Structure 1
């Protein structure tokens, strides 16, 4: 029983066992890997889509950054499936948990920083002070750029969490309005239901876009450090 609208974002338990682990393992079972020499049409379409995505994602990066293509592609597919599966009835969306999203964002951000400090430390530290900065503004700009640098993983995690949470919460509010209005104002209830269907389609788009935006921002951070 849902006591309030935010209970849907609480991690469900069965016999004292958190179902978060099952929700995190399910997407890995849905990625089709064909053992045949000649794949079928579905696998071929999946391979072509992944190829075009990684080509578009890696085009701004130099050769040094291409070695991380497999990591970004895998994470993109994983987040995409997690977001989409969370829109199914009686399911749980792990990506509405800020702690889990920060668990993705923080290591990836730290990876880009370490790569920059290892490969080109001068350029990596040079981002903290833009070229041509007046001398009196140097300390202030260094502080601002440092804060901006350390706030990146927080922005990554909060953006993904906030967008998915807001969409799920809005769907919950509108669906509740449909059931409440159905006995007293059937016409308004039908109109509200149509709005709910359109919002559901929008949420499918948001689920895909947010997974793409997350990986795109990580690739941009990586681009600055390779």
Structure 2
């Protein structure tokens, strides 16, 4: 599940310079931190206490897996600015001016489609079927409680709930329909897309760049592991 972070990233070669809404997956970041801590603990222990080729094999294995863990957990992010959508996926960085975006789609994954029909998955905004199910159940509860209020003349005594839902807070029609977090993020992106797609500053070319800073060490680590295993 992703949450928006309204802080502005520092300008660099891989991030847009304008003030952007930043979306990441808290679960992915937390999982990545735990995995890296585990790999660091096991790898350093093997390097310090291992014998023979074990330290070298551990070092090569760390060189292989650490970039992959970073790529698939800590790295993914979506930067939504006034002029463009900047998607940082595990191994690629895609920059799409809003004028080059054709659609933002949600299904079993969230993705952006450019005007050439190319699809790019938003890794930082993963779909949660469980979250959608909970949102649907909450929406059904809100509808049932609102119906009970109307039958009871708008007071809290219609069903004996005092105007509070099972989530512990007041339920009112102003709360709006319940939505899963990832779906709310996609709604925000669609609103920004519709508002900015015709802007002159939101035109340009789609750019796609491979994350060689992660691919290169991972490939080197895989080669070293293969060589060390082949040598016995």
**TM-score, scaled to structure 1:** 0.28
Normalising by structure 2, report the TM-score.
0.28
- More strand as a share of residues: 2
* Structure with a larger share of its residues in helix: 1
Which protein has greater RCO, CA pairs closer than 8 Å, 6+ apart?
Answer: 1
Greater gyration radius: 2
